[in-house]
């Protein structure tokens, strides 16, 4: 068994090295592969990634690391490129900032390894941890997505649809069902799982939000587009769809 950690990166020169060190150090209980996709960074991140990966490959670590450079196309397009080269039995997403904690991988993957779940999400809102630094606007946006999913798919189906931490068995979801451009990857992934009869299992995770001045990229318009994408997919695959 192997897990592929897919990391889309755009202009993260201040966080990417520390993030990669944490990902490398994380323990998951099975073999691990790291797939980094540089989505056309313009701030020097591309050079930092080249240097890090060159040094890493010479260090003798058992963990494999792959680096892809591409033109800027958005988070979803970067993930899609990563899916093409990922070889793990389990696939997972990691943002390139430091909002999430790679130390939580093991807890998220555990129910998958025990046969309890085929898709597992790390939830920021399950009560064990309090999301640190999240603005009221972002909290409301997240809850709006969740409630919309409850209405369109099933009540209580997910507590954190927009979480970065999504893990699933590679064979269960066709990469073509996940093809998208930007931050709408979250509703696209949820709907693709639901389409295949897979309800996400959720595990509490830690979270520490960063501010826009620190490099946060998702905007209010991105949030509206995520919501619109979720509504369209809910009509197509949700409880009132024609099956």
- DSSP result, 128-162: SSPPBS--HHHHHHHHHHHHHHHHHT-TTS-S-TT
Per-residue pLDDT of the chain (243 residues; tens, 9 = 90+): 999 999 999 999 999 999 999 999 999 989 999 999 999 999 999 999 999 999 988 887 768 999 999 999 999 999 999 999 999 999 999 999 999 999 999 999 999 999 999 999 999 999 766 678 888 889 999 999 999 999 999 999 999 999 999 999 999 999 999 999 999 999 999 999 999 999 999 999 999 988 777 777 788 898 999 999 999 999 999 988 865
Reference 63, options 88, 31, 17; nearest CA is: 31
Domains of the chain, with CATH numbers? 2-237 (3.90.550.10)
- How many residues in the chain? 243
Cβ atoms < 10 Å from Cβ of 65:
20
Give the CA-trace dihedral at 75, 6, 178, 123, to 10 degrees: -90
Kindly report, residue by residue over 171-213, the tens digit of the pLDDT. 999 999 999 999 999 999 999 999 999 999 999 999 998 877 7
Write out pLDDT tens, residues 71-88. Answer: 999 999 999 999 999 999
For 41, other C-beta atoms within 10 Å of its C-beta total 20
| 94 neighbors 6 (Cβ within 8 angstroms) | yes
């Amino acid at each position: 068994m192997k897990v592929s950690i897919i990391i889309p990166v755009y202009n993260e020169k201040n966080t990417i090295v520390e993030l990669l060190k944490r990902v490398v150090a994380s323990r998951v209980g099975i073999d691990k592969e790291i797939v980094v996709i540089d989505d056309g960074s313009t701030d020097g991140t591309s050079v930092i990634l080249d240097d890090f990966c060159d040094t890493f490959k010479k260090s003798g670590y058992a963990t494999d690391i792959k680096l892809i450079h591409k033109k800027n196309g958005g988070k979803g397009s970067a993930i899609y490129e990563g899916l093409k080269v990922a070889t793990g039995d389990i696939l997972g997403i990691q943002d390139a900032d430091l909002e999430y904690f790679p130390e939580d991988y093991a807890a998220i993957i555990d129910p998958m390894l025990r046969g309890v779940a085929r898709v597992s999400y790390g939830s920021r809102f399950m009560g064990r941890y309090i999301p640190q630094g999240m603005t009221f606007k972002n909290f409301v946006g997240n809850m709006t997505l969740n409630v919309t999913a409850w209405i369109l798919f099933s009540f209580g189906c997910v507590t954190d649809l927009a979480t970065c931490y999504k893990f699933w068995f590679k064979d269960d979801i066709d990469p073509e069902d996940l093809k998208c451009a930007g931050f709408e990857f979250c509703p696209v992934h949820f709907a693709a799982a639901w389409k295949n009869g897979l309800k996400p299992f959720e595990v509490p995770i830690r979270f520490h939000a960063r501010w826009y001045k620190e490099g946060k990229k998702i905007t209010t318009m991105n949030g509206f587009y995520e919501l619109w994408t979720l509504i369209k997919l809910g009509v197509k695959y949700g409880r009132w769809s024609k099956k």
